[in-house]
């Protein structure tokens, strides 16, 4: 699959932001006759790094898939008197299964210290039969840490898809306690499956998307099933898989799997996209284009949502809705990205099975 050929020219109006807030990761879904985005935000006055200690998730609505979102409300606004009651919610990822919306997210708590919050990250879940109504949050994490495992320190960044056999696959960010604390070990990707969207999830205990040249391999996974195959977008920090080495975190790789647990880069088109896009008023380049989330319609990717900012020191951040060519199959129309060269796998690369 050549994902780059699916990316269309982006309307500048598709940049979503709000006055006074940092806006970050967003997940889009359709429910009844409306389109929704659940996204992270936190107060600018607290600084960008406060995503780990002050983030909440909010609901926005649009009447059409192409239309602009408008804020509806904050979800799960935990505002208690103790750190445990002042919950942080970040990294939302939503799926709709048989008329019910399931939301997965990172949650934590603490007194404001970055590492205290970071190392208390766990993956939670909630569900609803009406996105603008009441939500039910599970009282315990659906992916907790496992002592001695690849995720013995923290878990976050969930992405979930329904598998062809009716089970559910989750990929997630994991950090072990093996490295020097408080940072811990390298960021890796774990996998788990469940019979139900709410679990219990069975972990597979081995890292996915392994980079033989660097233990800190990839991040920000998004997984989906299309035409019976599993696909995943992942941020390729070092350009090992994409062949793009112009900037740290400057490219996103496309991985493929037949079962959701044994992954390799797309052998023909490992580069999904770079941090450069074509807008309707000209080319743009981002310092950050992260947390990819795809909205699928009729089993095909229709929009790619990414958290972004133009320059590293910008105090305005966005969630960007990138239109995709979704009705014409894998190859789509001619490329709408700036030419980043032809990505090739390193000569030393061999697919890694787990």
SS3 281: coil
Q: What is the pLDDT of residues 285-316, one digit of tens each?
A: 999 999 999 999 999 999 999 999 999 889 99
Pairwise pLDDT comparison (216 vs 310), residue with the higher score: 310
What single string gives the DSSP state of each residue in 49-93?
GGHHHH-EEEEEEESSSSSPPEEEEEES----SSTTTS-EEEEEE
Gyration radius of the chain over CA positions: 19
- Which helix (H) or strand (E) is 158 found in, with range? strand 154-162
Return the closest-CA partner of residue 171 out of 150, 197, 190, 149. 190
Its sign, for the CA torsion 175, 249, 260, 59, is: positive
Mean pLDDT of 74-88: 86
Confidence band, pLDDT 50/70/90 cuts, at residue 349 = very low
Beta strands across the sheet bearing 56-62 = 21-31, 34-43, 56-62, 70-75
Residue 144 has pLDDT above 60, yes or no: yes
CATH class of the 3-323 domain in this structure: mainly beta
Q: What is the pLDDT of residues 247-291, one digit of tens each?
A: 555 799 999 999 999 999 999 999 999 999 999 999 999 999 999
For residue 304, what are the β-bridge partners? Answer: 294, 322
Burial label for 317, CB within 10 Å (0-12, 13-18, 19+), is buried
Percent of the chain with pLDDT over 90: 82
pLDDT score of 119: 98
Q: What is the pLDDT of residues 229-257, one digit of tens each?
A: 999 999 998 889 999 876 555 799 999 99
Q: What is the pTM for the complete model shown?
A: 0.91
Backbone dihedral region for residue 164 (phi beyond 0: left; psi -120 to 50: alpha; all else: beta) = alpha
Q: What mean pLDDT is reported for the chain? A: 90
For residue 234, what are the β-bridge partners? Answer: 253
């Amino acid at each position: 699959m050549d994902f780059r050929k699916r990316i269309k020219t982006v309307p500048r109006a598709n940049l979503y932001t709000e006055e006074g807030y940092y806006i970050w990761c967003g997940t889009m879904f359709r429910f009844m006759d409306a389109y929704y985005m659940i996204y992270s935000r936190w107060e600018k006055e607290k600084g960008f790094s406060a995503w780990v200690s002050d983030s909440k998730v909010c609901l926005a609505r649009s009447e059409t898939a192409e239309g602009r979102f408008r804020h509806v409300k904050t979800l799960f606004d935990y505002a208690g008197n103790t750190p445990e009651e002042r919950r942080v919610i970040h990294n939302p990822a939503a799926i709709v299964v048989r008329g019910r919306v399931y939301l997965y997210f990172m949650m934590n708590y603490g007194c404001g210290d970055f590492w205290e919050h970071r190392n208390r990250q766990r993956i939670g879940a909630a569900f609803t039969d009406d996105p603008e109504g009441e939500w039910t949050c599970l009282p315990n994490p659906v992916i907790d840490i496992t002592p001695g495992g690849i995720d013995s320190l923290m878990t976050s960044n969930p992405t979930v898809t329904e598998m062809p056999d009716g089970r559910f696959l989750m990929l997630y960010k994991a950090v072990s306690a093996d490295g020097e604390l408080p940072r811990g070990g390298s960021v890796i990707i774990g996998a788990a499956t469940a019979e139900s969207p709410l679990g219990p999830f069975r972990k597979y205990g081995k890292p996915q998307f392994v980079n033989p040249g660097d233990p800190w391999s990839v991040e920000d996974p998004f997984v989906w099933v299309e035409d019976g195959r599993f696909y995943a977008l992942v941020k390729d920090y070092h350009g090992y898989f994409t062949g793009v080495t112009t900037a740290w975190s400057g490219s996103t790789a496309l991985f493929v799997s037949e079962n959701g647990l044994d992954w390799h880069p797309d052998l023909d088109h490992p580069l999904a996209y770079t941090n450069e896009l074509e807008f309707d008023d000209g080319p743009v380049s981002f310092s950050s284009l992260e947390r990819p989330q795809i909205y699928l319609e009729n089993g095909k990717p229709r929009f790619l949502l990414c958290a972004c900012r133009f320059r590293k020191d910008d105090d305005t951040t966005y969630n960007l809705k990138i239109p995709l060519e979704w009705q014409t199959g894998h190859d789509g129309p001619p490329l709408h990205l700036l030419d980043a060269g032809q990505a090739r796998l390193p000569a030393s690369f061999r697919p890694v099975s787990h």
